[in-house]
Amino acid sequence: MTTSSSSSPRARTVSAEAETVGRYAPSPSGDLHLGNLRTALFAWLFARSAGGVLKMRVEDLDRVREGAAESQLRDLAALGIDWEPEVLYQSTRTAAYEEALSQLQEKSLVYECFCTRREIQAASSAPHGAPGAYPGTCRNLTEEERAEKRTQRNPALRLKSEVATYTVLDRFAGEYTAEVDDFVLRRTDGVFAYNLAVVVDDHFQGVTQVVRGDDLLPSAPRQAYLANLLGWEAPRYVHVPLALNKDGARLAKRDGAVTLAQLLAAGLSREDVVRMISASIPLAPVKTNDDFHLPENAAEMLTVFSPENISLNPWTVLDPLMEGTCCIG
C-alpha cells in the first residue's frame, strides 16, 4: 500500500543536516550477484557524494554459508568500495537485541504468538484480512490459554503495534505509507528477526542513510516505527531500482553468469563489470589520458555521480556477458 494519508503517524527521521553515515549489509548466503553489487555501489556513492562514510554489516543471523562473508567483502573491495574499518557481525549482537526486546516488553508491547506459518497464511488470506499481514490471532489470549499453548509449541514474540499504518519519507518514493502489523521480533527457534536486528544495528552504527533495493520499501514503515518506539530517529531512506532478469523477475544467481567470480571466469575484467553497472545507472563517461570511457571503479564513478540523474527504472539484465563486452572501451 502506497499513500500519503494525513491520518497516518509519521516517522521521526534523522535531520538532513546530520552527517551522512551509510551502510551496506549483505547476508552471507553466497556470492553477491550483479544486482547486489550495484546496490552496494549505490550505497557507497550516495554516502561518499554527500561527504559521508559507509559502514559494513554482515547479517549472519540466518542462512550462512561458510566463507561467503569473506568472499563478499573481497568482491566489494575489488570494485573499489571502501568502508569504515570495523565490520559488524550480527551474530555477535544477541545481547543488544535482548536489551531492545526488554525495553519493548517493559512497555507491554510484546506478546507470544503460537501460530504456524500455514495458519497465518490462511487467516490473512480471508476476505477481511490484508494479504500477508498478521491478523492478531494470539494478541489477546489469556494467560491460561498461553500456558496451554506453550505445552504444544514454542512461541514467537510479536510486537503489539499501536498503529495501523505508518509513514516514512523516501528520497525517490516521497511520502510512503504502509500497514504496520504485529510483526515478529523473535522467532520460535529463538533467533531474532530481521526487523528488530536491523533497527538496533542501524542505531548502534550511527547510520543516518539507508540505501537499498526498492523491494524493501514496504518494510521501511515497520522499521521506522520500531525505531521510534525505542526512542530513536529513523534513518533517511533511499530505495533504488532493482536489477531484473529477462523475465522481469529480480535477478538471482540462477540467472547464469551474474556473480563477479563467474563473470571474471568467463573472460570479463573487474573494470568491465563496473562499466556495465555504470551504464545501467547511467553515468557519464570520465576522461583519462585524453580518452573517454565509462567509470571503471568506484572512485571514477564518484566523479560523475549525481543522485538527481540516476534512472528510476529497473535495470533489465538480458545477458551479462554481452552487456560486459558492449561496455568495453
Measured distance CA(314)–CA(318) in Å, rounded: 12
CB 225 within 8 A of CB 296: no
Task: Tell which residue, 242, 244, 229, has the closest CA to residue 196.
Answer: 229
146 is in an annotated binding site: no
DSSP helix, strand, coil percent of the chain (3-state; round to 5) = 35, 20, 45
Task: Tell which residue, 213, 270, 233, 267, has the closest CA to residue 24.
Answer: 213
250 is in an annotated binding site: no
Task: Tell which residue, 31, 154, 28, has the closest CA to residue 91.
Answer: 28
Active site residue 107: no
27 is in an annotated binding site: yes
326 is in an annotated binding site: no
CB 267 within 8 A of CB 252: no
194 is in an annotated binding site: yes
26 is in an annotated binding site: yes
253 is in an annotated binding site: yes
159: β partners: 110
Task: Tell which residue, 32, 20, 170, 13, has the closest CA to residue 84.
Answer: 20
Measured distance CA(194)–CA(196) in Å, rounded: 5
176 is in an annotated binding site: no
Of 55, 107, 246, 253, catalytic? 253
Determine the residue type at 164.
Answer: A
Q: CA torsion sign, 300 to 303 to 307 to 313?
A: negative
149 is in an annotated binding site: no
User: Which residues contribute to the annotated binding site for L-glutamate?
Assistant: 23-27, 59, 194, 212
User: Which residues contribute to the annotated binding site for Zn(2+)?
Assistant: 113, 115, 134, 138
Residues serving a catalytic function are 253
User: Which residues contribute to the annotated binding site?
Assistant: 23-27, 59, 113, 115, 134, 138, 194, 212, 253
User: Which residues contribute to the annotated binding site for ATP?
Assistant: 253
